[in-house]
Structure 1
Amino acid sequence: MVLKPALRIQDQNGRRAPVEIEKAVKLQILGAQFNDKFNQAINWWRQKLFSDGNSTTIYKFPDDSSSSFRFKVRRSPVFAEIGSASRQPPIALSGGVKRLVRHQGVELTEPVLLFSDKAATGHAKDTHPIRGIVHNQPFDFGLTQKGLASSIRLGVVCPRREAVRLSNYLNGFMQRQRPQRANPEYLLEYPGFNRAYGIPLEIPHPDDSGWATCAEPESADPTAGARELAEKIIRSIDELMAAYAPHEVLVFFPERWSTLKGFRTENERFDLHDFVKAYCVQRGISTQFLEEKTLANKEQCSVRWWLSLALYVKSMRTPWVLESLDPDTAFVGLGFSVDPAAPRGRHVVLGCSHIYSGRGEGLQFRLSKIENPIFRGRNPFMSEQDARRLGETIRQLFFDARLKLPGRVVIHKRTPFIKQERDGLCEGLSGVNRIEMLEIKMDHALRYVASVQRNGRFDEDNFPVRRGTTVRLDDFTALVWVHGSTTAIDGRRRYYQGRRRIPAPIVVRRHMGESDLQTVAQELLGLSKMNWNTFDLYTKLPATVHSSNEIARIGSLLQRFGPQSYDFRLFM
């Protein structure tokens, strides 16, 4: 059971504040509640709950019922003892603290990324993706050096009114940009696209064949206008592909079109971005949407790094890979998209997020519809037959990519693996010696406070729990802090990405497999660095499940399913 205090934001008349205002106020209050302040808030509630001074209090719920549920709350916290191979000698615990230790854990090291060196003759290593690019070259720089892909040709779709402004903005990506105030301990100077990635970016002029002018929608109605605008954008993309054949297409979206991004009714949901993406995915076209507000963003160094990475990756390039994962292992993330308006047998799409190799590289993946879904609450699950077909698909995809079966397959999913799924997947993956099925989810109500030793006693730390901290709860369940403080950027200073409140751990529950916890957790940390759509040090979830639900959502709009495979970069 979790007791979670809630904030209620009211105006001067006692009325509840609008949702957007409430979110902003909550963010302002709770966003700055760091590790020490969070612990102080917990102590304040502890004083409220145990005002009588007793170490234990018994509560009844509901309070006025003759058959109420009774539960006991202890005043003392629960501690987890964390070991680390790279830190100071272990701290000796006093008897009073030692009796409160209920769990054991370990702090794992930050995974290392591989890049190409400047001469394209070998690999260079770094934990920081931006620093790795700046000091070295992208992992596939050797292909550029050999002339196999000597430039990146960009196509642009833009309304006539913003053409000159957008052209000037895109040409600015060839220039240096210093960081502003945001994130100075992480962000490095942007050196210009060609210097950063070692490859020219060909940006068309508004009068060139690589620049398509998108006509303005005639309807201002959100329903009709959204569909009309989507068709006009698609028509412009088709014209570009026929006349210019760019490696990727950038679609500029001005603020005046914001009411036409999509609509939702009782029977239909339409998202312009997803509709255009789905159309292009089926034709192998990479797309990047750029909203007008991005041009006014004050932190243009961040914008240029993030957008330049998207343009590099969507041209089917590889910026970095992982050093440490097992080359004989394949990783798979499962995601689902539910369309309640679709007929039975076609209303659940399985997004088999592309298979990842042992180096974290995304391989081809395939989308399919679940024929006989099993619903438990709102969550869809696979029947044994559906799971068997999926297992066969995973096996075939990996064989097509590597010409051999993997020795080990690790499957990640945000919901439990029911018996039908376990049996079907094992049958479909026959020939694979080791199969792991891991439920990966974030429990935002579960928080731990980091402690340090000061003057011979424990006190709250200023920084939160360290990234890589792994705590075993029982034989099947563990907590892994993928998000947390780290010294991976600078060994002398700690860095906390986002700098908001304290991080929640990932809850990992094993439904099948025998790999040790340290291996499983280290793989999760590594895969959290393999989302090529961001220059963050990591994402809060591993790439396998971070992208799978999004892929399934866009994939639900595809007109055909079956043997065709897609590259995940088309969905980014």
Structure 2
Amino acid sequence: MEMDALIRSISLRDRHYMFLLGAGASITSGVPTATDCIWNWKRQIFLTSNDTVAPKALGDVSLPHVQRRIQHWLDDRGAYPELWDDAEYSFYVNECFPRPADRQQFFKKLLQNGQPQLGYQCLGLLLRAAKIKWLWTTNFDDLVERAIPSDHEHPLLQVGMDSARRIDDIRREEPDPVQVFLHGDYRYDPLRNTERELSADSLDAACRRRLVDLCNDLPLVVLGYSGRDDSIMSALAQAYSQSGRGGIYWGCLSGIDPPGRAAELLDTARENGVDAEVFFISGFDDFMSRLARWWLRSTEYRGSLESLLASKPLPAQFSLSHLSPDFDWALSNAFSIQLPTELFQFKMTLSGPDGNWKQLKSLIAERDIEAGFVKTHVLAIGRSSEIQQVFGDRLETEVEQVSLSGDEFSISNGIVRQVLQSAFVASLAERGFIRDGRYRLRLPDVQTHSFRNVAYRYSESVELGFDCIDENVYVTLLPDVRIHIGEDACVDSETIKAVKRDILWRQRNAEFWDTIKAWTRRLFGNEGWRVVYPPGAETGFEFTVAKHGPLFSRYLSSKPKVTPPAVAQKAAPFEQFSAFETNEPYLLFGNSGKSKHPITGLVNSGGPYESFNELLHSHRDIRLGVVCQEGRENLLAQFLRRFGQPVSVERGDDDDYVVDFPGFESAFGCRLAIPSPGDPAWINCQIPCDGTAVDVNRRITGELTTAIRQISAADQVDVVLVFIPSTWKPFENIAEGALSLNLHDQVKAFCVQHQIRSQLLREEKVSNERSARIYWWLSLAFFTKSLRVPWSLANSPENVAYAGIGYSFDPLQESRKIVTGCCHVYDSAGLGLRFRLGELEDPIWRRDEFSRRKNPYMSRDDAYRLGIRTRQLFFESHSDKPDRVLVCKQTHFLDDETEGLLSALQGIDHVDLLTIQFDGAWRFCAFDPRKSQAHGYPIRRGSGVLLDSNSFLLWLHGNVLGTNVKNDRWGYFQGKSRIPCPVRVTRYSGDTSIETLSRDLVGLTKMDWNTFALYRKLPVIITTPQKIAKISRLLGRLPVDTYDYRLFM
């Protein structure tokens, strides 16, 4: 049965449908399910029996590999029930807590932390509105009672084990709602948990009789109940073993079939002519909110429901007022600028097949006019006479000058900004530059650069950007180069990018600052800081650039160094922003060793965080399977043998960061078991490459997946290594019309579906067999994908959860309706817990300022559903609600998204919603205050610049002290190319301090276990959800279960 059809049916008859709630209804309110409790008890039994195992090694017991480790130990003991046996619940609660008083105390402590969330709040509102009469529950908690509004007119009649006889006295026509505790109320009753207490004849006779009687007459909706205990299931079986007017509707999470006993019960009901259906929901909260929204839509309670659903507190303001000025600055590429305060406005007649914008651009081409549409009006800058001449008879209104407000300019990527920015660049072009695009200028001089034995001609260029911060406008200068390619030349875009990188990579901190100063002199040195539009005019629309620039940002600190007064006085006119710094985080390794550097930390600080333990791992070795192209097996076998040998770092192999590779076993404390050609775990494939690219791609994918499946079925391996020869390069990425094929993603999607961990290895890596870097990186991949943990974050705050949201869609498809949303959850130590996928039902498409393309956004309902899935992940993983949650994505949050997410995450004390995007315009250079010049190294990683009360720049990429293996006092700049680009962090909700958020984000850049790099340029909560969603788009159906994300690495 469709959920929406059931909701419509329920709302037709007030007080007609009964509800039976199980533990699944209380997950998001902080109460674990029966399954969660079982694994909690198994974990406690395991740990108390094996005191050498650290509890942190089994931190998230909801993960499949952790469960397998515990279950393997239990099975070896031979005295415990089989996995998923119906007797598990009663057995393990009795085994863990044999004394009834201890069981009572366990549940009392467990339930006191629960807080009624949206599903229960909606249920409370429905009870207040007298929509529901009978509510049966197997839960021990008091969430229903606490969820009912305080002004409830009809008291909730509660029937527990101590008052079961009262149930016979309750009349059907009585207006008060009734809640029956079938297993007891933890506050008053002895609880029923064990097999004897839950046996078929254990349910109170009066409660059983009334339940059977009502089920014959009234339909029953079951939510969050597993059907595990005999006491209730036998009563329901009795009720539906005879015909009746009632019905039973069993709710299951989407994609999950009903439990076996529930399916049998429904079959029995159907055989006796009773309406019995399964309906699918995404969660209790989602179902109850949909039901309440529909049922209360035309009632006096609609306003109360909307207030419940719409909670959007304003974000707290970022502040650095508690810090003092330090003897340090950062140098920006920005100037303050005063813009024209008026523009021309008019309406024009549009005609012909071309769109509005195309007609407008055609009219103003080759004219000194810049213009754009704002709703039905045209805003333009230029000479009034020329505008009158160009638009002539098309003018529907007078051309009038209108004043501009700060709000109009501050709108991101708005038309007013585009018109003024384009006019400014056009006027500057008249100062001896060539306009090269709407916002770019280049020098007329042409230089030559040799790249891969080819001479390329290029010119220096600069991109000019406008930004509005707190009603102040800034113009930024971003130096670049323009590569000149002749019309007959055949050079692809990737080659052009490589040539530009080769020219610019040497433009490091001091050289970049010199280039900024050079462009400042070129643009403003001769003809002044006043720029007039139209170009060449003496009067007109004026842009005035401030002479005190480029602007500085002064560092603030809790322990500032003394600044010489003369230096402070000289810098003061240029200071516009405040900067701060976050220290480089430490990683935690085995035996509590700490290091900033992941490789030296592994070698010198105690080995991996999760080392081998015979109780946790079924075997010490990490076993590889290999899929190789026929004819390349000797090359690959020779390469793999070197994992057992030391490999020295060679000069140029990032030797100020990478150390000698000591061999896999010495580094990781376990052996890498590598098969040889001809072994069952090594399969060679002979794949011909004739035919179309699409045919070859599909042939390769088919052969590889068949071999991977064969290895996994025949031999127990931890990771399957797939060798990709260079001859397959033309077939790895194919885009033909609406068809898009990516070999990597195709293989990964197959492996995810079959729970196989895989590693792709390209031939060019194998050819470079003397690179210690390659052996380190591959070793980490093998170790991590064997479900072991190399490191975690040290000194992490407790009870904090991080969630990243990513989307995937096919941009080549004309209809982009199918959008996969992924939420990936990390705990406070940066350990990636689990992820959950779902399709957006009603995506909103908006153009994003930074990517300049249309991206999907969530409707309020989609955001709410994603928030509920996120919340479920938190509680399933933590067995408790976190104190603080940080949710991040790369596109801005619409109001609907903010309201939906906050509504779903109610009850969590601190929820921050952040957008993290690379900033395309702002750059800052490190400054050496003692030498009063730009520093040789770039800005320090972890530096931040406060822009306004809701946003700041943060350098996740930059210079790091204490990680250079040649000299600990030297800095290390990863990549050593040009200067680092900051991310712009914008907050839409929350109250966490700017320092704490920065520490979170900087730390999460170090938690990608797929690389030994010092950090990633974005936090893992941004990168992994996008990667997971992208690969999951290729799955035949979205996975219902939550997976360990290492399958997607």
Instruction: Return the TM-score normalized by structure 2.
Output: 0.52
Decide which moves more: 493-502 or 96-105. Answer: 96-105
* Correspondence for 1:73 among 541, 545, 567: 545
The one-letter code of the counterpart of 2:510 is D
Counterpart in the other structure of 1:116: 590
CA distance in 1: counterparts of 2:1010 and 2:539, whole angstroms: 53
Is structure 2 residue 890 aligned with structure 1 residue 410? no
* Correspondence for 1:437 among 895, 913, 922: 913
Aligned pairs (5 A) from 1:110-149 = 110-117=584-591, 123-135=592-604, 136-143=606-613, 148-149=618-619
Q: Which has the larger radius of gyration?
A: 2
Question: Given that residues 382 and 421 in structure 1 are in contact (C-alpha distance below 8 angstroms), is that contact kept between their aligned partners in structure 2?
Answer: yes
Question: Given that residues 738 and 813 in structure 2 are in contact (C-alpha distance below 8 angstroms), is that contact kept between their aligned partners in structure 1?
Answer: no
Q: Could you say if the C-alpha distance between residues 276 and 80 of structure 1 is closer, same or farther in structure 2, counting changes exceeding 3 Å?
A: same
SS at match of 2:593: strand
User: C-alpha displacement at 1:57, in angstroms?
Assistant: 2.5
Counterpart in the other structure of 2:1000: 523
Q: Could you say if the C-alpha distance between residues 276 and 433 of structure 1 is closer, same or farther in structure 2, counting changes exceeding 3 Å?
A: same
CA distance in 1: counterparts of 2:542 and 2:809, whole angstroms: 38
Question: Given that residues 837 and 1039 in structure 2 are in contact (C-alpha distance below 8 angstroms), is that contact kept between their aligned partners in structure 1?
Answer: yes
Counterpart in the other structure of 1:325: 796
CA distance in 2: counterparts of 1:188 and 1:145, whole angstroms: 32
Counterpart in the other structure of 2:859: 383
Question: Given that residues 532 and 539 in structure 2 are in contact (C-alpha distance below 8 angstroms), is that contact kept between their aligned partners in structure 1?
Answer: no
Counterpart in the other structure of 1:312: 783
CA distance in 1: counterparts of 2:663 and 2:614, whole angstroms: 17
Aligned pairs (5 A) from 1:121-200 = 123-135=592-604, 136-143=606-613, 148-181=618-651, 182-200=653-671
**What is the aligned residue count?**
562
CA distance in 2: counterparts of 1:530 and 1:67, whole angstroms: 57
Counterpart in the other structure of 2:380: none
Aligned pairs (5 A) from 1:476-515 = 476-490=950-964, 491-515=968-992
CA distance in 2: counterparts of 1:391 and 1:28, whole angstroms: 44
Is structure 2 residue 944 aligned with structure 1 residue 470? yes
Is structure 2 residue 901 aligned with structure 1 residue 425? yes
Counterpart in the other structure of 1:288: 759
Counterpart in the other structure of 1:565: 1042
Q: Could you say if the C-alpha distance between residues 344 and 143 of structure 1 is closer, same or farther in structure 2, counting changes exceeding 3 Å?
A: farther
CA distance in 2: counterparts of 1:261 and 1:17, whole angstroms: 21
User: C-alpha displacement at 1:559, in angstroms?
Assistant: 1.6
Q: Could you say if the C-alpha distance between residues 278 and 20 of structure 1 is closer, same or farther in structure 2, counting changes exceeding 3 Å?
A: closer
Question: Given that residues 612 and 670 in structure 2 are in contact (C-alpha distance below 8 angstroms), is that contact kept between their aligned partners in structure 1?
Answer: no
Q: Could you say if the C-alpha distance between residues 460 and 149 of structure 1 is closer, same or farther in structure 2, counting changes exceeding 3 Å?
A: same
Q: Could you say if the C-alpha distance between residues 299 and 386 of structure 1 is closer, same or farther in structure 2, counting changes exceeding 3 Å?
A: farther
The one-letter code of the counterpart of 2:914 is L
Aligned pairs (5 A) from 1:450-469 = 450-454=926-930, 458-469=932-943
Counterpart in the other structure of 2:693: 222
* Correspondence for 1:255 among 726, 731, 734: 726
Decide which moves more: 535-544 or 426-435. Answer: 426-435
Q: How big is each residue's C-alpha offset from its partner over 1:264-315, in whole Å with a ceiling of 9 and x where there is no partner?
A: 1221111111011011111111110011111122761000001111111111
Question: Given that residues 278 and 558 in structure 1 are in contact (C-alpha distance below 8 angstroms), is that contact kept between their aligned partners in structure 2?
Answer: yes
Is structure 2 residue 841 aligned with structure 1 residue 371? yes
CA distance in 2: counterparts of 1:264 and 1:128, whole angstroms: 40
CA distance in 2: counterparts of 1:191 and 1:87, whole angstroms: 43
User: C-alpha displacement at 1:184, in angstroms?
Assistant: 1.7
Q: Could you say if the C-alpha distance between residues 43 and 516 of structure 1 is closer, same or farther in structure 2, counting changes exceeding 3 Å?
A: same
CA distance in 2: counterparts of 1:210 and 1:148, whole angstroms: 19
Question: Given that residues 35 and 463 in structure 1 are in contact (C-alpha distance below 8 angstroms), is that contact kept between their aligned partners in structure 2?
Answer: yes
CA distance in 2: counterparts of 1:364 and 1:543, whole angstroms: 13
* Correspondence for 1:447 among 910, 916, 923: 923
Question: Given that residues 803 and 1021 in structure 2 are in contact (C-alpha distance below 8 angstroms), is that contact kept between their aligned partners in structure 1?
Answer: yes
CA distance in 2: counterparts of 1:45 and 1:66, whole angstroms: 23
SS at match of 1:168: helix
SS at match of 1:558: coil
Q: Could you say if the C-alpha distance between residues 524 and 164 of structure 1 is closer, same or farther in structure 2, counting changes exceeding 3 Å?
A: same
Is structure 2 residue 703 aligned with structure 1 residue 232? yes
The one-letter code of the counterpart of 2:843 is P
Q: Could you say if the C-alpha distance between residues 11 and 416 of structure 1 is closer, same or farther in structure 2, counting changes exceeding 3 Å?
A: closer
Q: Could you say if the C-alpha distance between residues 280 and 87 of structure 1 is closer, same or farther in structure 2, counting changes exceeding 3 Å?
A: farther
Decide which moves more: 266-275 or 216-225. Answer: 216-225
Give the structure with the higher percent helix.
2
SS at match of 2:1021: helix
Is structure 2 residue 715 aligned with structure 1 residue 241? no
Q: Could you say if the C-alpha distance between residues 65 and 551 of structure 1 is closer, same or farther in structure 2, counting changes exceeding 3 Å?
A: farther
Is structure 2 residue 500 aligned with structure 1 residue 30? no
Question: Given that residues 83 and 90 in structure 1 are in contact (C-alpha distance below 8 angstroms), is that contact kept between their aligned partners in structure 2?
Answer: no
CA distance in 2: counterparts of 1:341 and 1:31, whole angstroms: 33
Q: Could you say if the C-alpha distance between residues 180 and 364 of structure 1 is closer, same or farther in structure 2, counting changes exceeding 3 Å?
A: same
CA distance in 2: counterparts of 1:66 and 1:275, whole angstroms: 62
Question: Given that residues 627 and 722 in structure 2 are in contact (C-alpha distance below 8 angstroms), is that contact kept between their aligned partners in structure 1?
Answer: yes
CA distance in 2: counterparts of 1:331 and 1:243, whole angstroms: 39
User: C-alpha displacement at 1:344, in angstroms?
Assistant: 5.9
User: C-alpha displacement at 1:404, in angstroms?
Assistant: 1.3
Counterpart in the other structure of 1:120: none
Q: How big is each residue's C-alpha offset from its partner over 1:436-471, in whole Å with a ceiling of 9 and x where there is no partner?
A: 10000111332111111245xx21111111111111
The one-letter code of the counterpart of 1:124 is G
User: C-alpha displacement at 1:558, in angstroms?
Assistant: 1.4
RMSD value, Cα? 2.3
Q: Which 5+ residue runs of structure 1 have no aligned equivalent?
A: 118-122
Q: Could you say if the C-alpha distance between residues 162 and 88 of structure 1 is closer, same or farther in structure 2, counting changes exceeding 3 Å?
A: farther
* Correspondence for 1:538 among 1005, 1015, 1019: 1015
Question: Given that residues 329 and 407 in structure 1 are in contact (C-alpha distance below 8 angstroms), is that contact kept between their aligned partners in structure 2?
Answer: yes
Question: Given that residues 687 and 699 in structure 2 are in contact (C-alpha distance below 8 angstroms), is that contact kept between their aligned partners in structure 1?
Answer: no
SS at match of 2:525: coil
The one-letter code of the counterpart of 2:568 is S
Is structure 2 residue 535 aligned with structure 1 residue 63? yes
User: C-alpha displacement at 1:71, in angstroms?
Assistant: 3.0
Q: Could you say if the C-alpha distance between residues 17 and 235 of structure 1 is closer, same or farther in structure 2, counting changes exceeding 3 Å?
A: closer
Is structure 2 residue 1023 aligned with structure 1 residue 550? no
Question: Given that residues 846 and 856 in structure 2 are in contact (C-alpha distance below 8 angstroms), is that contact kept between their aligned partners in structure 1?
Answer: yes
SS at match of 1:7: strand
CA distance in 1: counterparts of 2:934 and 2:575, whole angstroms: 16
Q: How big is each residue's C-alpha offset from its partner over 1:493-514, in whole Å with a ceiling of 9 and x where there is no partner?
A: 1111110000011110000000
SS at match of 1:179: coil
Aligned pairs (5 A) from 1:3-42 = 3-10=477-484, 18-42=492-516
Question: Given that residues 647 and 770 in structure 2 are in contact (C-alpha distance below 8 angstroms), is that contact kept between their aligned partners in structure 1?
Answer: no
User: C-alpha displacement at 1:18, in angstroms?
Assistant: 4.7
User: C-alpha displacement at 1:53, in angstroms?
Assistant: 7.0
Q: Which 5+ residue runs of structure 2 have no aligned equivalent?
A: 1-465, 467-475, 848-853
The one-letter code of the counterpart of 1:550 is K
Question: Given that residues 952 and 984 in structure 2 are in contact (C-alpha distance below 8 angstroms), is that contact kept between their aligned partners in structure 1?
Answer: yes
CA distance in 1: counterparts of 2:686 and 2:830, whole angstroms: 41
Identity of aligned residues (%): 36
Counterpart in the other structure of 2:255: none
SS at match of 2:588: strand
CA distance in 2: counterparts of 1:414 and 1:226, whole angstroms: 32
Question: Given that residues 116 and 142 in structure 1 are in contact (C-alpha distance below 8 angstroms), is that contact kept between their aligned partners in structure 2?
Answer: no
Question: Given that residues 942 and 955 in structure 2 are in contact (C-alpha distance below 8 angstroms), is that contact kept between their aligned partners in structure 1?
Answer: yes
